[in-house]
Amino acid sequence: MLEINNLKCRIGDTEILRGLSLTVNAGEVHAIMGPNGSGKSTLALVIAGHEDYVVTGGDVTYNGKNLLDLDPEERAREGIFLGFQYPVEIPGVSNASLLKAAVNAKRKHQGLGEVDAFEFLKLAREKMAALNMDPKFLNRGVNEGFSGGEKKRNEILQMAMLEPSLAILDETDSGLDIDALKVVAKGINALRAPDRAIVLVTHYQRLLDYVEPDFVHVLSEGRIVRSGDKTLALELEDKGYDWVREAASA
Amino acid sequence: MTSQNIESFVNQRYQHGFVTDIATESLPPGLDEGVVRAISARKDEPEFMLEWRLQAYRQWLDMKEPKWPHLHYKPVKFDEISYYAAPKSDADRPKSLDEVDPKLLETYEKLGIPLHERAKLAGVAVDAVFDSVSVATTFKEKLFEVGVIFCSFSEAVREHPELIRKYLGSVVPRRDNFYAALNSAVFSDGSFVYIPKGVRCPMELSTYFRINAANTGQFERTLIIADEGSHVSYLEGCTAPMRDENQLHAAVVELIALKDAEIKYSTVQNWYPGDENGVGGIFNFVTKRGDCRGDNSKISWTQVETGSAITWKYPSCLLRGDNSVGAFYSVAVVNNMQQADTGTKMIHIGKNTRSTIVSKGISAGRAQNTYRGLVKVMPQAHGARNHTQCDSLLIGKQCGAHTFPYMEIKNSSAKIEHEATTSKISADQLFYCRQRGLSEEDAVNMIVNGFCREVFKELPMEFAVEAQALLNVSLEGAIG
């Protein structure tokens, strides 16, 4: 599904990704771990098409297409979803209107008719019930005055509504208390499917206790320095990132 | 998305830029007592009206244009303007829409205002002002049944001179300001509304204004009187065809709410704003004022201002009656080289008077947007309350937002609150929306509409939809 080959990119004059390669197939859950500044969030943003990041080398194919040729909205409509580390507030724009516009943008792209308000509300209420979210949420401004946990849950709701083929969740677990973490994990697990891939960008092992990854990759200085199965995450938790850094430079 | 990209998103041709080819019967350019007399004579006005105009004209001669607004433009050459234009059919005015010049109707069609259908479907009575003379008034009979008078100003002068004598100039005196004095001397036409005691007007009253004759100043005059315990909602909307010369527009609107009466006045203003280099466009100098004359009366102004090269406009409320309530909800959008200096005045005179101000300014391109507001509490106005919220949204790096809030509080029991914010559409917000599959343009529209939501919800439903669409058109190309 996603093939990243020797990807290099910079923001301003700072090189961040320095030859990163990664293959993600449908049905898989990958966890990307690594210390602060290793390039985890950059990877997520580059896949989503953030224009501040300039790709200087390598290529990225998504379902056979050159992903780097596509605008961010085209990538989204093709099924790429990014759960943001810091979801922005959009005052006055209701959650419902953003969600409905998003769902319909994708449906239009797929050649499907737009959902009407009634269908939309029905669907949204279903998904929200599964995430223990108050339906009133829909009428609030997008992330406006939300707590950290509410923002993250809102990202999961958007993901559930959009049913992406490739979901990248950037530190979705950070700032969550244990109950919220369980709800979010439940939301992610509900989306596991043979035709869908999930990439979890995370700092800690904690989330992986609830969402079991098929693969774990460790990022350091813009490269994947180690890959393994879920036991790698436990090893990391135990030994810390210095261990990886030493291994990388050795 | 960089902010530089954001700047180039603003280049869209004015959609209503066409000119209807109807011969107009204009007066030669220039202004003197003869012109004032000629206007009055053409309208068969009674002597008192002519006298009133002439006094206004003489007062105007002594007055100076205000220099305090945060606006920069070439001086208006008042002697090069023609002060009256009327469609050819003036002498023989149509009695129904069937008799209206088909070209006029076509113009409405182009504007998306199919008058007859629209009026029927929406249950809106439309007093359409084309250039300076009303050409069609609908639903008159239905209104007549409940005693509501809704007609052109000229007709009111002839048919209801007692009401005109009593109320005209009682809110905006002739010499209130330079433009009001000019309007008082040469006003062409406009709307007149009288809601009798205890009547709730059975439909929204709506007037579409339109400037069409080249180089002709348009001087609308509107007077709305809500008698005791009555209620009326009035909608004013305008579009204008594309022109290269600057066109002067100086309207006066007076609202009078007697005891327990309520007037809700909504405007969508879309005069031609000029091109991207600031050539052409309407100069819009408007005096709008409501007088809450009776106790417990209420006046609210809601405006969506997207057009005009220059906007100078402060819909205000005189809160004279005890417990009277004034409100001002405004969205002002400026793009390219447009300049707006707009806001409100809330003058608290009666006891326990309340006022609310919500102003949303949006600036894009190289445009300048100024909010100017006055909250004044007189010494006798015990228990006055005001809440002002004044937000500015900037799109791109070359535009400006300015806020001049004035407060004169002479009673210590007053409670006055002022909140202000300035924000930009951030690249992060745009990226977030795009990552959810929205195009950049849809994202901007959504963010802008969200910013304006508090004001839009004050508009009547169908008007709110129009306003939103208009906003999207005005900002098309603002980011790219």
The interface predicted TM-score of the complex, written ipTM, equals 0.95
The torsion region of residue B192 among left (phi > 0), alpha (psi -120 to 50) and beta comes to beta
Please tell me the predicted confidence (pLDDT) of residue B223.
Answer: 96
Q: Do A82 and B435 touch (CB under 8 A)?
A: yes
The model's pLDDT over A186-229, given as tens digits with 9 standing for 90+, comes to 999 999 999 999 999 998 888 999 999 999 999 989 999 989 99
Please tell me the predicted confidence (pLDDT) of residue B175.
Answer: 92
Q: Are B266 and B302 in contact (CB under 8 A)?
A: yes
Q: Do B1 and A51 touch (CB under 8 A)?
A: yes
Q: Any idea which of A37-41, A80-84, A130-134, B196-200 has the lowest mean pLDDT?
A: A130-134
Please tell me the predicted confidence (pLDDT) of residue B95.
Answer: 52
Q: What distance in Å separates the CA atoms of residue A168 and residue A132, rounded to the nearest whole number?
A: 22
Q: Which residues of B226-254 are buried (b: 16+ CB within 10 A; e: fewer)?
A: bbbbbbbbbbbbbbbbbbeebbbbbbbbb
For all residues of chain A together, what is the average pLDDT? 91
Number of neighbouring beta carbons within 10 Å of residue B47: 8
Please tell me the predicted confidence (pLDDT) of residue A102.
Answer: 95
Which residues of chain B are within 8 Å of residue A94 when distances are taken between CB atoms? Answer: 450
Number of neighbouring beta carbons within 10 Å of residue B316: 26
Q: What distance in Å separates the CA atoms of residue B143 and residue B81, rounded to the nearest whole number?
A: 37
Number of folded domains in chain B?
A: 1
Count CA atoms closer than 13 A to B94's CA, side-chain side. 20
Please tell me the predicted confidence (pLDDT) of residue B188.
Answer: 83
* DSSP H/E element including A194: none
Q: What distance in Å separates the CA atoms of residue B71 and residue B285, rounded to the nearest whole number?
A: 12
Percent of all residues in chain A with a pLDDT value above 90, rounded to a whole number:
67
Q: What distance in Å separates the CA atoms of residue B404 and residue B392, rounded to the nearest whole number?
A: 12
Q: Are B137 and B118 in contact (CB under 8 A)?
A: no
Count CA atoms closer than 13 A to B139's CA, side-chain side. 25
- List the single residue in A77, A84, A142 with the smallest CB-CB distance to B437: A77
Please tell me the predicted confidence (pLDDT) of residue A100.
Answer: 93
CA-wise closest residue to B450 among A43, A116, A197, A101? A101
Which residues of chain B are within 8 Å of residue A142 when distances are taken between CB atoms? Answer: 450
Which residue, chain included where needed, has tokens 């092992």? Answer: A205
CA pseudo-torsion sign B381, B382, B383, B388: positive
Count the helices and strands in chain A (H runs, E runs): 8, 12
Q: Are B268 and B304 in contact (CB under 8 A)?
A: yes
Q: Are B139 and B27 in contact (CB under 8 A)?
A: no
B37: buried, middle or exposed (CB in 10 Å: 19+, 13-18, 0-12)?
A: middle
Which residues of chain A are within 8 Å of residue B453 when distances are taken between CB atoms? Answer: 92-93
* DSSP H/E element including B57: helix B47-61
The model's pLDDT over A111-129, given as tens digits with 9 standing for 90+, comes to 998 888 888 999 999 999 9
Q: Are A154 and A182 in contact (CB under 8 A)?
A: no
Backbone angles phi, psi at B438, to 5 degrees: -85, 145
Backbone angles phi, psi at B225, to 5 degrees: -120, 120
Size of interface A-B (CB pairs under 8 A): 81
pLDDT tens, chain B, 480 aa long: 344 443 443 334 444 544 444 445 677 788 899 889 988 988 889 999 999 999 999 999 999 989 888 888 888 888 888 887 654 444 444 455 555 556 555 545 544 554 544 343 333 344 444 433 443 445 666 788 899 998 888 889 999 999 999 999 999 999 999 999 999 999 988 889 999 999 999 888 876 443 444 434 578 899 999 999 999 999 887 544 445 455 788 999 999 999 999 999 998 887 778 777 877 788 899 999 999 999 999 999 999 888 888 899 999 999 999 999 999 999 998 988 899 999 999 999 999 999 999 999 999 888 999 999 999 999 999 999 999 999 999 988 888 999 999 999 999 999 999 999 888 888 899 999 999 999 988 898 899 888 888 888 888 776 777 777 777 767 766 664
Count CA atoms closer than 13 A to B290's CA, side-chain side. 33
| β-bridge mates for residue B221, sequence order | B252
Residue ranges of E strands in B190-281: 191-195, 205-210, 221-226, 231-239, 247-249, 252-257, 262-270
Q: Are A197 and A1 in contact (CB under 8 A)?
A: yes
- List the single residue in A76, A88, A101 with the smallest CB-CB distance to B446: A101
Q: Do B438 and A82 touch (CB under 8 A)?
A: no
Q: How far is CA A49 from CA A74, A75, A202, B122, in A?
A: 9, 8, 20, 45
Please tell me the predicted confidence (pLDDT) of residue B91.
Answer: 43
Structure token pair of residue B384: 């006055």
Q: What distance in Å separates the CA atoms of residue A181 and residue B452, rounded to the nearest whole number?
A: 35
- List the single residue in B1, B433, B451 with the smallest CB-CB distance to A92: B451
Q: What distance in Å separates the CA atoms of residue B7 and residue A44, rounded to the nearest whole number?
A: 27
Q: What distance in Å separates the CA atoms of residue B211 and residue B132, rounded to the nearest whole number?
A: 8
Please tell me the predicted confidence (pLDDT) of residue B404.
Answer: 93
Give B204 to chain A, closest Cα distance, Å.
Answer: 27
Which residues of chain A are within 8 Å of residue B4 when distances are taken between CB atoms? Answer: none
- List the single residue in B428, B433, B453 with the smallest CB-CB distance to A92: B453
Number of neighbouring beta carbons within 10 Å of residue A179: 10
Domain around B342 = 3-478
Structure token pair of residue B1: 């998305």
